[in-house]
Amino acid sequence: MILQNDVNKNVTELINDIVHVIRSGHIQPNEPALSAMWPLLAKNGFHRMLIDSRYGGKGLELREYISAIRQLAYGDGAIALAVHVHNFAVYILNELGNEQFRQRLNAWLDQGSMVSLARSEHGRDYRYDFATRIVRVEKALLLSGQKDFCTLAGLADYYVVFAQTTDSAPSMDSLQVCVADAKHRAVEVMKTNGLEAMAASSTYSVRFTEYELSPVDLIGEPGSMSHLINPDLLTLGFCAINLGMAEYAADQFIEHERKLNHKTASNHEVVRWLGRMDVYCRSAELLLNEAILSRPHNDEQSGVCLRRAKAASDQLIQEITEGAVQYSGIEGLMSKNNFLALRNNAYATRVLPPNIQRCLMALGMERAKK
């Protein structure tokens, strides 16, 4: 496996232990499960994976981090998604915040706090076209708007919020990142636009109603997100989660067939399907590596690489989970190898930005130019 060997041994062993706990059957795939597991994850440093080791973090490089998320997704895609979103939110705060804020952030992490990302708005461009606004009313800065598909909603202690500072011609230059206390009365979690399949990730909508921001809650200046070294880290992690879940689905299908004493080799249709899945998996893996190698350059070609990787991993997880359900038959649907749950989780990752439809449209337009 290309990425897997990049994880240092200590992190690999720790993740293997966590995966074993998840797959032992003692942890149910729901929101309380993540809350129960979080102290273990935090104790082992999985809540500050991208923070420099000088500040108590694991200091993982991009390739190492993506490998770790992929390995964790083999245990449970929803928990991997929650850990990934938290780490990306922390990464933004650590990179864009000043030294005073970093000390504040480290204090939160020392306490094992969860940080969520409040970025997406249903039906809008996921980068900067947001209805959520920061407006000045007399001497107060007020944050108002609704964010959708917020992983860790209701569980997080803080939200990293993406908001616009202008009503006309919004752009990356007018985008402001801020942090909000999740327990504040002006913050409301709504069970809408959620990823019901990935229950453990606690992904729902969050509404901010005239949340008053202090100057220290503003992270960087408007437009600072453009200076982030790895702005597409979130999507790269989604690709890795798809790969990890796909590998688990394939292994579980083969194990299921063995337990039923099915002679898979004699079923040519299933064998061909397994062959296709091998090709899809390898293709997605290679495209993910290509996308990683194109970083940290933020040019047009790196965007093409990212969309190819996301589309390939989305296609992979769809094909492998749908095939596992189809070829396992009634025995598989009734067995402990819950392929239906894996398929539903696959639906969730495919809507995460940029979704496969947007990726294919952008790639098709790029191809049409040539």
Q: Which CATH number goes with the domain that contains 331? A: 1.20.140.10
Q: What are phi and psi of 163, to 5 degrees?
A: -140, 155
- The dihedral of CA 205, 209, 210, 211: what is its sign? negative
Residues 280-300: tens digit of each pLDDT: 999 999 999 999 998 766 667
Q: Can you give the CATH number for the domain in which 169 is found?
A: 2.40.110.10
The predicted structure's pLDDT at residue 328 = 84
pLDDT-derived band at 199 (thresholds 50, 70, 90) equals confident
Q: Which of 226, 244, 265 is the last residue of a domain?
A: 226
Same structural domain for residues 37 and 78?
yes
Same structural domain for residues 235 and 294?
yes
For the cut 90, the answer to whether the pLDDT of residue 233 exceeds it is yes
The predicted structure's pLDDT at residue 193 = 67
Same structural domain for residues 213 and 82?
no
Three-state DSSP state, 146 = strand
The predicted structure's pLDDT at residue 1 = 37
Same structural domain for residues 336 and 360?
yes
Same structural domain for residues 235 and 354?
yes
Tokens of 280: 């899809």
Mean pLDDT (the chain, rounded): 89
| CA atoms of 160 and 174, how far apart (whole Å) | 16
Residues 106-127: tens digit of each pLDDT: 999 999 999 999 999 988 877 8
Are the CB atoms for 109 and 56 separated by under 8 Å?
yes
pLDDT-derived band at 3 (thresholds 50, 70, 90) equals very low
Position with higher pLDDT, 297 vs 16 = 16
The predicted structure's pLDDT at residue 312 = 98
For the cut 70, the answer to whether the pLDDT of residue 47 exceeds it is yes
pLDDT-derived band at 163 (thresholds 50, 70, 90) equals very high
Same structural domain for residues 355 and 253?
yes
The predicted structure's pLDDT at residue 169 = 86
The predicted structure's pLDDT at residue 26 = 61
Which of the listed ranges 148-152, 228-232, 258-262, 313-317 does the model predict with the highest average pLDDT? 313-317
For the cut 50, the answer to whether the pLDDT of residue 2 exceeds it is no
Q: Which of 183, 207, 226 is the last residue of a domain?
A: 226
Q: What is the pTM of this model?
A: 0.93
Q: Can you give the CATH number for the domain in which 30 is found?
A: 1.10.540.10
Same structural domain for residues 320 and 334?
yes
Same structural domain for residues 302 and 215?
no
Position with higher pLDDT, 259 vs 179 = 179
Mean pLDDT computed over 139-167: 95
Number of neighbours of residue 260 by Cβ within 10 angstroms: 13
341: part of which helix (H) or strand (E)? helix 339-351
Position with higher pLDDT, 40 vs 310 = 310
Number of neighbours of residue 301 by Cβ within 10 angstroms: 11
Q: Which of 94, 110, 126 is the last residue of a domain?
A: 110
For the cut 50, the answer to whether the pLDDT of residue 39 exceeds it is yes
Pick from 23-37, 152-166, 226-240: least confident: 23-37
Same structural domain for residues 137 and 148?
yes
- The dihedral of CA 169, 171, 174, 178: what is its sign? positive
Using CA atoms, how far residue 145 sits from 42, 93, 182, 217, in Å, is 31, 21, 14, 17
The predicted structure's pLDDT at residue 5 = 45
9: part of which helix (H) or strand (E)? helix 9-23
Pick from 50-64, 279-293, 299-313, 329-343: least confident: 329-343
Mean pLDDT computed over 306-332: 90
pLDDT-derived band at 333 (thresholds 50, 70, 90) equals low
Query: How many structural domains compose the chain?
Result: 3
Write out the residue range of the structural domain in which residue 181 sits: 115-226
Position with higher pLDDT, 319 vs 122 = 319
Using CA atoms, how far residue 265 sits from 25, 33, 127, 246, 262, in Å, is 30, 38, 47, 21, 9
CA-CA-CA-CA torsion for 216, 222, 226, 229, nearest 10 degrees? -10
Same structural domain for residues 185 and 199?
yes
Same structural domain for residues 105 and 188?
no
Q: What are phi and psi of 113, to 5 degrees?
A: -65, 150
Same structural domain for residues 213 and 246?
no
Helix 77-96 crosses helix 62-75 at what angle (to 10 degrees)? 150
Tokens of 110: 């020392």
Mean pLDDT computed over 315-337: 81
